[in-house]
Structure 1
């Protein structure tokens, strides 16, 4: 069944746009957000890929009497959902990598052993998704545990957040990492009592090993991106903001665009670490809000993540008082990289998780804002995860966008208190506080760190519970969103964060007919069931590109 669905989705995604008569879809429960309210409707007319009208079927039936009609059979219709922070290459590569998400240590080691049996001699065993926080003792694993498997392959496994990696001795040897190797600034090599590397590399130290791993070719990246398109469309995503790409991935996107092989909308952020960063900035924006590929922003990561204790904190970690996390760039270099972007009229999107990182990023964005209106740039703080309470109002004062991932809160709920203590949780995952002060939230998932399914995000945003229903009354529920707010964060405000709200984000006349049909009404069912809702159809520019 899964293979048939994938093939169907792939074929539909490859369908090229063709001229068509007016289409009237009806007999559904429709919802969309506008600047003023949540709008309900049960019919929509579209033509040539754009919406003509939404409203009551009786009226539209008469108005568009010659239209081709589609009976939605009582299902629920929403604007196409937008993930404002995902990693398309990582999503597309999941089938090629060992996925260790939700695995115990014992299950991880068994899966690694099994994966090795499938590899060619000399091939690297690559994977991601392990999370020591969910294991008994919550301790980082070590190279000895991998070496004990007696696998004759170099092994490199990235942590679930992508901010730490786990290597065996063979991989460390191939990368030239030993007792004398010094970690780069913004990185850490964990060591045992004798000073030997344990096999865990954090943040910038991962680059020491990554350089030994064979890089994917351009053709392989194009194939991975196409896999990601198929997956995203099957989940109801009609647009994704790709949070940090290098020059080769940009080339892959541009070639796919020329081949008319991008079946959805992609808003990539150019990584500041990209080869030819300055040259690419000077070349200017790529595409426009109307095109499937539109690039006018950059991505910089200020710090690491909470789970690997790389998030930069103002005060030490509650569960490790000798550590405060890592800044991935010196403050002055960070500012110069951001200024290079704004000097070339690029929006800046900055990863900041810890309260120190958020404080520094706010300072930098305030400095940038003095010369040109922030409302023109629409600068974003990606994650905005742990914010000192007195810094929260600065988001509104600087007209910033908070690009946040609801499922991070429900995944981190058990770990965040350990890392931060109760006091700093007040400014953590503070969605409602930000919304109440007028700060727009562009919602996403950070896939493949979290699952790409946006229904999981709508569920987490409104319940503050995980998909098993824990905790039963929700975690810090004062910061939960209403369902209307969550829908807006995954549609209109995500579109605004990508300078695209005039063409997508809802189904107002003149905008693209990007929409989805769901098997259940998320506004009528128990909120704990939202994550189980299935996408039946996905439409982009009035063309059905996925059918369940």
Structure 2
């Protein structure tokens, strides 16, 4: 392969390439392989960086272990806000989060914010509670209960405002460096007023880094004028991403048709936008030709979004809607009929296979929250793909790890029979599909053919399939029509390939 001025200009046999490009710099891969660089279609950059540079609670196996990690971090870092992320009480023997008093006992007087693994709820210290305006019982605040919905939004914004510019800058750099080191050339930042705030997004968009950032802002609008103003104010590329129609299953805030199986007090979860508001947002964005999109997980939330888009299609026509490439994040609970409609309207599904790997199966969080029957229908990737829904794979980092090969493995080895997609489709969703989800629809981005951007990664793997392998769980397709090169085996016990170099548009952005 030859790359000139950031563009692939030759793919073929070695000797003709050397003859055509006699003055080229030659890079001998010494047995490594090249594949198109990944795009992570759903990332929270600063939050990921805060986990990488701060307090990672994902390894805690109990309330006691979680509190011990907080105690040790507080001792090692005697000043500033303590931002922790990743605890998951569903795996703990106590089956509950830490309380405010317990957090105070290990970090007395400190501002402490500890978000659950799904980032839709948190616990915090009394000092942070006191520093959060308007936090009271009317918002669901309790010193013993999990903070969700509006109470969580307020606490999170108070915690974000307590971060110093240096903390935010270090976090962003760490997150983007991690992306490049994992063969990722671009990320889709899913920002919003209750996620990271406008200041953080402006800082991110002015950060100099080799990883490309496409920014989405999750705030609803009612008309085209408001949409244009919000885009200008935030610098976002689209009004999509984590615009919350509902919450998450882990925090009992995803919006369901039927109540949660494990908590009668949770009812059917939370609804943040109704059909009228969703339709108004889609209509406004369609009018100005930009991507709209929503965070949607529960089946009732999916129904509301599908009904709203259908209303807009009836008003302005399917082609106008499809031309925008509107997108849905997560979209975990949908029927075959709904998938068929989304496919017809050109709606893109930004999915996270890591969710199924973490919480799917016969005895995971999905079964706890929903029961066996509803859990088995979660994340129906195969049905979506069969209905013509374009898939884009992301991590929702820091919710799941920034590891694209692991995400591909999870999509191929879906824990529900019949819901997996092929290796070829999975790899495409993490490359070509993710570029398309970000508005790049030239048919070249995410491939390595003449005319494509020179965006690729060099990988070292123990087992590279280079023959005419079958397209199955065990083997990767090398059919040249797929534009997918020879790729590694990724069975359940295979390690992820090691990234040796990441190049974006001809510029090396990571080298081991």
Both structures adopt the same fold (TM-score exceeding 0.5)? yes
CA drift at 1:252? 1.7
Range that drifts further, 61-70 or 161-170: 61-70
State the partner residue of 2:484: none
> Normalized against structure 1, the TM-score is what?
0.79
Mapped to 2, the partners of 1:165 and 1:493 lie a distance apart of 33
Mapped to 2, the partners of 1:219 and 1:350 lie a distance apart of 31
State the partner residue of 2:496: 532
Range that drifts further, 150-159 or 236-245: 150-159
CA drift at 1:526? 4.8
Contact 2:490 2:496 in 1 (8 A): no
Q: Give matches, 1:487-502, under 5 Å.
A: 487-502=427-442
Q: Is 1:404 matched up with 2:351?
A: yes
Q: Is 1:159 matched up with 2:101?
A: no
Unmatched tracts of structure 1, length 5 or more? 1-43, 190-195, 288-292, 465-474
Q: Is 1:301 matched up with 2:257?
A: no
Mapped to 1, the partners of 2:233 and 2:14 lie a distance apart of 39
Q: Is 1:234 matched up with 2:181?
A: yes
Deviations 1:24-54 (A, max 9, x none): xxxxxxxxxxxxxxxxxxxx11101111021
Q: Is 1:198 matched up with 2:156?
A: no
Q: Is 1:517 matched up with 2:458?
A: yes
- Which SS does the other structure have where 2:272 is aligned? coil
State the partner residue of 2:475: none
Mapped to 1, the partners of 2:225 and 2:82 lie a distance apart of 34
- Which SS does the other structure have where 1:336 is aligned? helix
State the partner residue of 2:43: 86
Q: Give matches, 1:222-301, under 5 Å.
A: 222-245=169-192, 246-256=197-207, 261-272=208-219, 281-282=228-229, 295-299=237-241, 300-301=243-244
Query: Which structure has more strand as a fraction of its residues?
Result: 1
Mapped to 1, the partners of 2:304 and 2:204 lie a distance apart of 32
Query: Which structure has more helix as a fraction of its residues?
Result: 2
Deviations 1:59-97 (A, max 9, x none): 434443443322111211100101111111212222443
CA drift at 1:270? 1.6
Mapped to 1, the partners of 2:184 and 2:233 lie a distance apart of 22
> Normalized against structure 2, the TM-score is what?
0.85
Relative to structure 1, the CA distance from residue 102 to residue 382 in structure 2 (aligned partners, 3 Å threshold; closer, same or farther) is same
State the partner residue of 1:318: 261
Contact 1:132 1:138 in 2 (8 A): yes
Mapped to 2, the partners of 1:126 and 1:396 lie a distance apart of 40
Of the three residues 340, 362, 375, the one matched with 2:306 is 362
- Which SS does the other structure have where 1:226 is aligned? helix
Contact 1:128 1:157 in 2 (8 A): yes
State the partner residue of 1:484: 424
Mapped to 1, the partners of 2:134 and 2:495 lie a distance apart of 43
Contact 1:116 1:151 in 2 (8 A): no
Contact 1:462 1:482 in 2 (8 A): yes
State the partner residue of 1:131: 88
Mapped to 1, the partners of 2:219 and 2:68 lie a distance apart of 37
- Which SS does the other structure have where 1:106 is aligned? helix
Contact 1:455 1:531 in 2 (8 A): no
- Which SS does the other structure have where 1:138 is aligned? coil
Mapped to 2, the partners of 1:210 and 1:525 lie a distance apart of 41
CA drift at 1:283? 7.2
Unmatched tracts of structure 2, length 5 or more? 466-486
- Which SS does the other structure have where 1:356 is aligned? helix
Mapped to 1, the partners of 2:143 and 2:273 lie a distance apart of 23
Relative to structure 1, the CA distance from residue 144 to residue 435 in structure 2 (aligned partners, 3 Å threshold; closer, same or farther) is same
Relative to structure 1, the CA distance from residue 115 to residue 72 in structure 2 (aligned partners, 3 Å threshold; closer, same or farther) is same
The count of aligned residue pairs is 472
- Which SS does the other structure have where 2:418 is aligned? helix
Contact 2:393 2:434 in 1 (8 A): yes
Mapped to 2, the partners of 1:424 and 1:518 lie a distance apart of 39
- Which SS does the other structure have where 1:332 is aligned? helix
Of the three residues 413, 417, 421, the one matched with 1:463 is 413
CA drift at 1:142? 2.3
Of the three residues 419, 440, 452, the one matched with 2:390 is 440
Contact 1:462 1:527 in 2 (8 A): no
Q: Is 1:336 matched up with 2:280?
A: yes
Range that drifts further, 80-89 or 93-102: 93-102
State the partner residue of 2:72: 114
- Which SS does the other structure have where 1:312 is aligned? coil
